[in-house]
Structures are given as structure tokens and as C-alpha cells.
Amino acid sequence: MPAIRQQTTLQGPCTITGRGYWSGLVNTLTFLPAPAGTGIRFFRQDLSDEQGIEAVAENCQGLSLRTCLGSGQMRFEMIEHVMAALSGLQVDNVLVRCTAAEMPGLDGSSYPLALALSTVGTIALKASRPQLNLQQPLRVGTDMAWVMIQPAERFEIEYQLDYGPNSPILACEYSATIQPEIFLNEISPARTFITRSDADALRLQGVATHVTDRDLIVFDAKGPVDRSLRFVNETARHKALDVLGDLAVVGADLLGSVTAYRSGHQLNGQLAARLRELLLNQSDTVGQLFDNQGQRRAA
């Protein structure tokens, strides 16, 4: 079993700016160092609430095409790429100050975020990072789409992508042990993708009308439109990136092997919620044992 590591934060601030896919609004994200125990906390600079919202499962909602945090005005949309970058690089405590609700789409990947964060670097704090040790497998979904996690000595993700023989997106797989260097080089560059028919349907609804074929990967019957894939299995890598970002809201290092088959943000979010419950119950149990031992020692 890996040793429990120390919590981390950034060595200094960094910023990144881009437009949201859905809203088209420009959003500048400022990442600031934070003390141990803060977690990942999002703030809206255009609103007056100084408390912000912690990015944990009970505050999240997995939608079909994105993951959102908060509710009402205090809302943050499409947080999965930001969370994947922070989790993949093991940045545990940070304040994320935003000038709009939707996170920047950038080039469709987490690489610009990961590059900015890794350039600043992290420092260790004087507190241990929570670690969730699974006792048995957990699975959510159906035979058509599912995601599961099994006990393991390290955190691994495998994604199996298969939209059927009639899809222009070819079936492929990707698996990796999640470590900062692997995330930065192999996972973070994988970009968001969509079929031409789905993109056209969204535009007819008045959604993402500003997004072009250069902002993400669009597939038609002949394959990627005017783009070259960064990896043969880039689509599966991006879905693994989404799984990582969606599970980051558990708020702990996971010791488990995750396998996902055609899962999306909603299924990922359901698994994250189950794991978050296990973590909180584990913390309560540890606290009770400590109290009981303390009472016995005092006696």
C-alpha cells in the first residue's frame, strides 16, 4: 500500500483565460495557494459571496455533457477539466477565483491548465492527504454503460470507448496509472470531441454557436474534420480525463482500479457520490476509534 502523502498547495498564483463552450463568455481563472484542509474551493469574483463552494461530490451535479458545481447564482459549469488538472498534478488545496460561471474551453483539453499549474509547482504542507481504501468493488450503470472501481494498490483508470459500428468515432481503449508526469504528457492533451450531427443539433438549439471545428475535435463520416489526432486513442484518453476530473470531487487519494465502459459525467458523478459517502464514513470511524482510544488511555 502506498504511503500516505502530505497535502500540497501551489507555490504561487497563476492565471488562465478563455471562453466557455456553452456560454461563450470569457472567464479568467486565478489559482491561489491555500492552507491544508481547504480543498479545492471555487469563488465568483463577479458575485459578492466570499465563502465560495468546495468542489466535493455533495455540491456537484453531473449532467450529460458536463459537470457543474453549486446552484443558483453561485454556480460553476464544466469544472471537470479544471478538476482533472488539479487532481492529476496532485494539487490538493487551492482557491480558484473565476470571473464567470463556465470554465474556459481552451483547446478542448486540460493541457493549458496543467502546463500553467506545473510551471508554478507545488509545495508540501504539514498535514496528511486523506486516502480512501476500498474493501470491495463498486459499480454503477447498466450493461450499456457503466463505471466501476475495485480495490488496488494504486489509482488506475481504464476507459473502453465503443459507440457501435455506425459511429464515426472508432472504438478504442486507454489505461494508465495516475501520476503527475503521466497525466501531463499522456492524458491532459486529449481533447473534447463530438460528432458533426450532434454539433449541428446543438447549434440549432442556439448552444455553442461560437465554437468552431478548431476548438475541439469534430467527427464526420470520414473521421476528424480538418484535424489530426494527437494520439490514435485520443478519444478514450479524453474520456479517462473526464473520469479523473469527475472523481476528483471525492476529496481524497483513491486506491483503486477504475474501469469505465461508455460512461459519461452522470455515471461518473454517481460513483463519485458513493465514494464520497465511504470516505466520510471512514473518517467518522477513524475519529470514533481515536476518541475511544483516547478515553482508554486517559482512564
Residues with catalytic function? 265
* Cα–Cα distance measured from residue 126 to residue 7, given in angstroms and rounded to the nearest whole number: 7
Full 3-state SS string of the chain: CCCCCEEEEECCCEEEEEECCCCCCEEEEEEEECCCCCCEEEEECCCCCCCCEECCHHHEEECCCCEEEEECCEEEECCHHHHHHHHHCCCCEEEEEECCCECCCCCCCCHHHHHHHHHHCEEEEEEECCEEECCCCEEEECCCCEEEEEECCCEEEEEEECCCCCCCCCCEEEEEECCHHHHHHHHCCCCCEEEHHHHHHHHHCCCCCCCCCCCCEEEECCEECCCCCCCCCHHHHHHHHHHHHHHHHHCCEEEEEEEEECCCHHHHHHHHHHHHHHHHHHHHHHHHHHHHHHHHHHC
Full 3-state SS string of 167-181: CCCCCEEEEEECCHH
* Cα–Cα distance measured from residue 275 to residue 155, given in angstroms and rounded to the nearest whole number: 14
* Cα–Cα distance measured from residue 138 to residue 149, given in angstroms and rounded to the nearest whole number: 5
